[in-house]
Each structure stands twice: as C-alpha cells, then as structure tokens.
Structure 1
Amino acid sequence: MTDTRHHDPATRTQTIGLAQGVALYVCALLGAGVLVLPGQAASLAGPASLVAWAFSALLGVPLAYTFARLASNHPDAGGVATFTTRAFGGTAGGVTGWWYFIAGSVGQTVVPLTAGYYVTTAFGVSQDWAPGIAAALLALATAANLAGVRMGAAVRIGLAVGVAAILATVIVVALPQVRLSELTPVAPHGFSGIGRAVIVLFFAFAGWEAVAHLSGEFRDVKRTLPRATALTIVIVGILYLGVAFAVVATGVYGTRELDRVSLGVILERGIGVSAVWAVAVAAVVICLGTTNAFIASVSRLGFALGRDGWAPRFLTHLDRRHSPGRAIVGVAAVGAAGLLGAALFGWGTEDIVFLPSVLVLATYLFGAAAAVRLFGGRDRVIAAVTVVLLLVTVPFAGWHVLIPVSVAVAVVCLKGFGHRRGRA
C-alpha cells in the first residue's frame, strides 16, 4: 500500500488542464506493447480479434469512468492502492500494490524484446538475437535511472505522439494492401480465441489507472478528468482498432516471427525496406523511453511497499540522489530474468505477456470492486457493470488466473511471517 501522507493534494499545484490531461492519458495508454500485440491477437483469434479489440476499447468506457470518478472523489497520489485500502483495508492495498509491481517489472522484459524484434528484422538476422539487444536496452535504461536521468513529461508525451504517428502511418499504408478475403473465416479458433486475445490486450490498455495518481493536480478535477477520459477513449480506440484491422485485412500474421513485427512488414510492403529501418529506430527510442519511465515508476512502488512493510526493507534504501537504487535494480533484475528465459528457452513476448496482462486484470478488478464499495447511485451501478465485464474475461485466462491468486497468498503469508519475526 502506498503511503500518501507526504503527498497531500492540497499541497500540490493544480495546473493540469484538458489538453494536458488528454496528453497524459494517451501517453499512459499508447505504449511500446502495441507494436507487437496486433499480430499476436490476430494469431489467437483470426479476424475475430477485431471483436477482442472492440470489446477491450468498449470496456475502457466504464473502466475509465470508474477510475476517473475514484480519482475525482478521492484525489490522492496512492491511486488504486489507496482506493482498495479505503474499501477493503490495508491487506487489499498491499496485494494490489504487489500485482502492479510484478506486472510493471515483467513488462520490462516484453518492452525491450519488442525493440529487439524490430532491430533484428531490419538487419535481416534471426530473432534469436532479440534478447541480447533487449538486454542492452534494459541495461541502458537501468543505468540512466541509477544516474538520476529520467524523462520529463514533455518527453513522455513526445514518445506517445511517436507511437500514435507509427500507428496512423500503418493504417494509411495498409489501405491499398487490404484484401477482404482475409476476413474469412471470421473466428478460426472459436470464442475461446477471442477471449484469450482480450486477456492479452489488457497489456495494451493498461494505463487507465495511471492518471489517478495525478488527480490532485487537475484544475476543476470533477469536470476536466472525465472529459479528458472521454477524449482519450475516442483517440486510442480509433488508433488501436485501425491498426488491428490493418494487420488482419492484410494477412500479416500467423507465425511467431511475423506476429512480432507485423507493423514493420506492412510498412515495408507499402513504402519499402527503408521503412523497416525507420520503424526499428523508432522502436528502439520508444521502447527505451518506455522502459526508462516504467523502471522509475515501478521502483518507487517497490520503495513504498518496502516502507509500508509489504516488501523487504532493503528496497527502501535511498542513494545520494535520493533515488531507490536497490528497488531500481530489483525491477531491472525481474526484467533481466525474463530476457534470460527468452534467450535460453525461446520465450517470446507472446508467451510472457499473459503474466502482466492477468495481473493488470486483477488490479482493475479490485479497483472496480472498491468503487462499488465506495460509491452510491449511478456511479455504483457503472462500477458494478465494470466488475461484471471484467469477471466475464476471467475464465479465458485459463491457468494464468492462478498467478494473481498465488501472488496474493504469498504476500499475505510473507506479511504474517514478518509480523511473527517482529514479535519474536
């Protein structure tokens, strides 16, 4: 659970208006993962993956509204951990914090690997080299964080604009390549394929809760935040659905290697080989920036978990720059372990992404359930609808549903063990 005693919203300057709010939301949602997920979702569900994208986008409407209302009514830097703590107590907050910490840390395997795939494609070498390239990017981002070099809001927004530009370009370039015959058979893997695609896409749509941490800095938060949320849903929905259609209607998917670089192949076919190099360079910049930002934010969460007794105390150590150096290394170590597995056992993003996706699903489920407990009237009804829609997706997670359950059990047991040691 994040301690927010030193983050009183009243002490912060309320400077975020509508335009900046939309920019921050788009920045939170348009990440490097979307460079690989359209192809992977298409392989899971075929043309019906468009249904998965549409469902995920529509789920964002009540989900975003619920988190916007939570942030408006309880503006606090603690975000989802604060909401779940207020609704269900400190244990729920601690478990939710760990879910997000692990999801964010494992994401630092998925994101650098994405860049590795595009770089190896540009050089014309085997994607087996991708983990090595990813490790170099992860090491660079970790070193930057340890040195205190972090991105400002303008840079993060610039990276989001870069992702949006790539997606928009893919949509336009794909139009002459569209073949309606690629839209049949509609659902070659049945309803279960659509459901599995929805689970994967939680990684693409993770971010609705992120701006809740900045809710106290919005001008007229009760009006500005819901409007920013609505505009973001429209922008992100159009881009995601457009690029998903481009991948499906051009047939650029179906193998692990092709799924990982679908967007680059579409651009290569439409523009030429130079486009592959341009996308590879953009992917490196975007993935490096995303990794740098997530290591910074997730390590702070690790510091807070240690400080509040939900993680080992050594994560609370601050270096001379007042950065949680050990927590930074801890996040990087989780990402590096995933890359080692990718190198030794051939794990790809399509294998790894289920882990952070199902943890994000669990985080959203607890957050929406907290809203049902905290709200009344129409807001409670919308939160309840959000919970139901999230629960509909849970069975499609398969055995992966055991991941958040196992994490919760481990956190509670370790917390109890720590209490017993303290008393001894």
Structure 2
Amino acid sequence: MTNPQSLARRLGTFDASVIGLGSMIGAGVFAAFTPAAAAAGSGLLVGLVVAAVVAFCNATSSAQLAATYPTSGGTYVYGRERLGPWSGFLAGWGFVIGKTASAAAMAMTFAAYAAPPGWERPVAITAVIVLAAVNYHGVTRTAGLTRVLVVLVLAALATAVAACWGGSAPDPARILGDGLLAHGWYGILQSAGLLFFAFAGYARIATMGEEVRDPKRTIPRAISIALGITIIVYAVIAVTLLASIGPERVAANATPLAAAVESGTMPWAGPVVRVGAAIAALGALLALIAGLGRTSLAMAREHDLPHWLSAVHPRYKVPHRAEVTLAVVICAIITVADLRGAIGFSSFGVLIYYLIANIAAYTQPDMDRRYPKALQILGAAACVALVATLPPLSVGLGILMFAAGIILRLIRIRTTAHPKRGQI
C-alpha cells in the first residue's frame, strides 16, 4: 500500500528537464550578468566557463546521489545518509534560507518588468501567492505551467538575439573590452561565483526525486539535459550582450538584455524581451517554491524543521503546509528585499550545499558510482574557492546565516527530552 505521507511519482524525463530549465534560465539570463560584469568586465566569459565547469561537477555528484537516494530533500538527504545529520542539516539550511531569499528576488525581478512604478512589491507578493497556489494543487500542474513558461522565455531570448545581431550590428571588438584578464583572476572568480547562482536550478530536479518516475534513469538524464541546454543559452546571451553594448554598460544596467535590444535598430523587440524577462522570473519562482517545499519536507521529517511541516496533502500529494509557510516567509522578505544583494547571498548558501554534495558523492561505494572521484574533488575545491571570492557582504551574511542555524539546532537538540539515536 502507498504511504499516504509519500509524494506521487508523476514526472518523466521531459517534465523533470523542463523544471530544471525553468529554474536556471529564469534566474540567470535576466539577473546574474550585471553583477558578473561589474566584477570581471569581459572576463565574465571566463567566469561563465568556470561556473559551467563547477556546475557540471556538482551536477554529476547530484545525479549520482539522487539515483541512489530517490527521495525528497536533495543534498539534505545525501549529507545525512553519507556524512551524518550535521552535514545534512548544514546543506538543507543553506538551501532553504538562501533559496528563500532567491525566491523573493525572483518575485521582485518579475515585478520590476511587469508592475507600474510604485506597485512593484504588491505585484511581487501577488505573484508568490498565485504560484504557491499552483504548487499546492499538484506537481503535474507545476510541470505543465513550467513547460509553457520555458517555451515563452526561449522564444523571447531568440527574438532578443536576432534583434541584436540582425538590427544593431554588434561590434565583435566590444566582446574583449579591456581584455579578459583586465580585472584579474579575483574578479573572474567572483563573477564565476555570481554566475553560479544562475546554474543552481538543476538542484530542483534532485530535490523532487520522490516525484520522478524511474529515478535512477530519469534524474541523471534530466540534470544533464537541462544543464547542457542552459550552458549553450548562457554562452550565446553573454557574447551577444558584450558585442552589443560592451562590458561597462552591461555592468551599469539592471536590465542589460533589454538595453541591448532597445539600443539597436529594432526597438520593437524591447517589449518582447521585457515580457520574456517577467515570464522567466515567474518560471524560476515557480520552481524555487517547489524545490523549497520538498527540502523543507525532508528536514521536517527529521525534526530539523518543525515536524508540523512534514504533512503531505492527502489529495494533491504535495507538502502543503511547508509550501504555504514558505510563501508567507517569501512575502515577508519581499517587503525588505534587495534584489541584487540576494544573488551573492544565495550563491553562498548554494555553494556550501554543493560542497557537501561533492563530499557525499566522493564517499559512495563503487557499486553506486557513475562518475570518477576526480570530478567530486574538483567540484568541492571549486566550491570553496568561489565562496572565498564572493563579495564580502555576501560572505558575512552567509556566515551569520549558518551560525544562526547551528545555534537553533543545538537548542533544539538540548531541549529535546529524548532525542532519537543518531540525532546529533
């Protein structure tokens, strides 16, 4: 008999890949290139390559682990199983706190494009409420809406690229600007850490492992497909932006792709790009809410979050209490959110999350191994390096975030009269 507290396996390779695409493309194309250009100028191209390599290493670790542990929670579960409860908790805490802030940033990105002046925050809050309601009514509705959003976003991006190259005659000489290494390797690595934020969406596939059919086959394939397509899209957009308006204007403009289109001879495409940006932010927000709900579910099952959040809706088979609670928290953050600062903050938490994933995958026995250990070593080392080069404010806030989580868990353990064996 099916456990009523288990989620339903309804997602195939296509739907899982689309959810990953919706997470990555929405977060990166319209949000991450501006701070990356500010850090590295044209060197963001090198940073993009570094971020892609790190993402690939982390993706292989996630795929290898997810095939062995096909349940909700992602690296929270993998860390617990392979390294112990504390490692799992740190991974889950980093994901939930960092991605909750990221979800607020995506809602604000949507509102920046879609709302009239002065109405940004109310519109952002409305978007969170509507998409939380979609998630509440089942993962097949989440996947169905994400399919539509991804198609619309890719169409908008194709229009933007065509308008830039066909109408405004971009100058390839602008791509190099003052040189790829003009801002030094520190700037390049910082841009890689910021751009990594854009790749982190493939984690959503692993965190939804309890809802994927044939997970040992589906999850690795879906992660590879989603990441591969995203790398190609980002590379095309990065080159197009630099050739169209140069690294200085990319760094100075909060909406660089729209600016690139509107500065050319096809300004009619500008509104198309802005609509695409709004839709992309919605797609990322939808997938974020889904992934956050599943990780919170896993943590609540182990009492690392309030156990009340572990309930699964008897009809819709979703962690409904976790998703409603997260929606409330995201709406609260929107009232004080800083859009650009959330990227570095989120990157800190996610890089720690993948550091633990790489270490956990390294410890897997040969019978569960799909990829060489060298990839996990490279991935772990790269995560540490990128964390160290993030903006100081992001690092400081990230350290405070983890310190707060550790203190809360210690208090919970010490105030539990009879903690479960192995809890600590």
* TM-score, length basis structure 2: 0.82
Listed one character per residue, the Cα deviations across residues 8-37 of structure 1 (whole Å, up to 9, x for unaligned) are 9xx957x735x5554444334322442122
For residue 104 of structure 1, what is the amino acid of its counterpart?
A: K
C-alpha distance in 2, partners of 1:330/1:407? 19
Partner residue in 1 for 2:270: 276
Contact 1:202-1:358 at 8 Å conserved across structures: no
CA separation of 1:352 and 1:234: change in aligned 2, threshold 3 A = closer
CA shift for structure 1 position 51: 0.8
Which of 193, 197, 201 aligns to 2:191? It is 197
- The alignment status of 1:381 with 2:377, answered yes or no, reads no
For residue 85 of structure 1, what is the amino acid of its counterpart?
A: R
CA shift for structure 1 position 405: 3.9
CA separation of 1:80 and 1:204: change in aligned 2, threshold 3 A = same
- The alignment status of 1:37 with 2:32, answered yes or no, reads yes
Which of 49, 55, 59 aligns to 1:54? It is 49
Listed one character per residue, the Cα deviations across residues 277-311 of structure 1 (whole Å, up to 9, x for unaligned) are 33333333343343244324423433443342112
CA shift for structure 1 position 324: 5.5
Contact 1:144-1:150 at 8 Å conserved across structures: no
Contact 2:100-2:326 at 8 Å conserved across structures: yes
- The alignment status of 1:91 with 2:83, answered yes or no, reads no
Listed one character per residue, the Cα deviations across residues 16-72 of structure 1 (whole Å, up to 9, x for unaligned) are 35x555444433432244212223322221111111111111223322222222223
Partner residue in 1 for 2:422: none
Greater shift in the superposed pair: 377-386 or 313-322 = 313-322
Greater shift in the superposed pair: 146-155 or 103-112 = 146-155
CA shift for structure 1 position 197: 1.2
Map 1:8-157 to 2 at 5 A: 12=9, 16-17=12-13, 19=14, 22-119=17-114, 130-142=120-132, 151-157=141-147
Task: Give the aligned CA root-mean-square deviation in angstroms.
Answer: 3.5
- The alignment status of 1:171 with 2:165, answered yes or no, reads no
Partner residue in 2 for 1:418: 412
- The alignment status of 1:251 with 2:241, answered yes or no, reads no
Which of 238, 241, 260 aligns to 2:235? It is 241
* TM-score, length basis structure 1: 0.82
For residue 37 of structure 2, what is the amino acid of its counterpart?
A: A
For residue 384 of structure 1, what is the amino acid of its counterpart?
A: I
C-alpha distance in 2, partners of 1:225/1:326? 26
CA shift for structure 1 position 369: 0.7
Contact 1:315-1:327 at 8 Å conserved across structures: yes
C-alpha distance in 2, partners of 1:239/1:361? 22
CA shift for structure 1 position 253: 6.0
C-alpha distance in 1, partners of 2:221/2:132? 36
For residue 172 of structure 2, what is the amino acid of its counterpart?
A: L
CA separation of 1:74 and 1:298: change in aligned 2, threshold 3 A = closer
Partner residue in 2 for 1:354: 344
Greater shift in the superposed pair: 366-375 or 298-307 = 298-307
CA separation of 1:132 and 1:23: change in aligned 2, threshold 3 A = closer
C-alpha distance in 1, partners of 2:172/2:402? 46
Contact 2:156-2:272 at 8 Å conserved across structures: no
Contact 2:349-2:398 at 8 Å conserved across structures: yes
Q: 3-state SS of the aligned residue for 2:372? A: helix
- The alignment status of 1:394 with 2:384, answered yes or no, reads no
Contact 1:372-1:384 at 8 Å conserved across structures: yes
- Tell me the number of residue pairs that the alignment of Structure 1 and Structure 2 aligns: 406
C-alpha distance in 1, partners of 2:136/2:216? 34
Greater shift in the superposed pair: 46-55 or 146-155 = 146-155
Contact 2:54-2:382 at 8 Å conserved across structures: yes
C-alpha distance in 2, partners of 1:61/1:5? 36
Unaligned runs of 5+ in 2: 419-424
CA shift for structure 1 position 360: 0.7
CA shift for structure 1 position 317: 6.6
Partner residue in 2 for 1:311: 305
CA shift for structure 1 position 185: 0.4
Greater shift in the superposed pair: 357-366 or 394-403 = 394-403
C-alpha distance in 1, partners of 2:71/2:136? 27
C-alpha distance in 2, partners of 1:76/1:115? 31
C-alpha distance in 2, partners of 1:318/1:213? 16
- The alignment status of 1:262 with 2:235, answered yes or no, reads no
CA shift for structure 1 position 361: 0.6
Unaligned runs of 5+ in 1: none
Q: 3-state SS of the aligned residue for 2:199? A: coil
Partner residue in 2 for 1:159: 149
Contact 1:25-1:207 at 8 Å conserved across structures: yes
Q: 3-state SS of the aligned residue for 1:35? A: coil
- The alignment status of 1:365 with 2:355, answered yes or no, reads yes
CA separation of 1:235 and 1:336: change in aligned 2, threshold 3 A = same
Contact 1:32-1:287 at 8 Å conserved across structures: yes
CA separation of 1:304 and 1:75: change in aligned 2, threshold 3 A = closer
Contact 1:33-1:111 at 8 Å conserved across structures: no
CA separation of 1:258 and 1:148: change in aligned 2, threshold 3 A = farther
CA shift for structure 1 position 190: 2.6
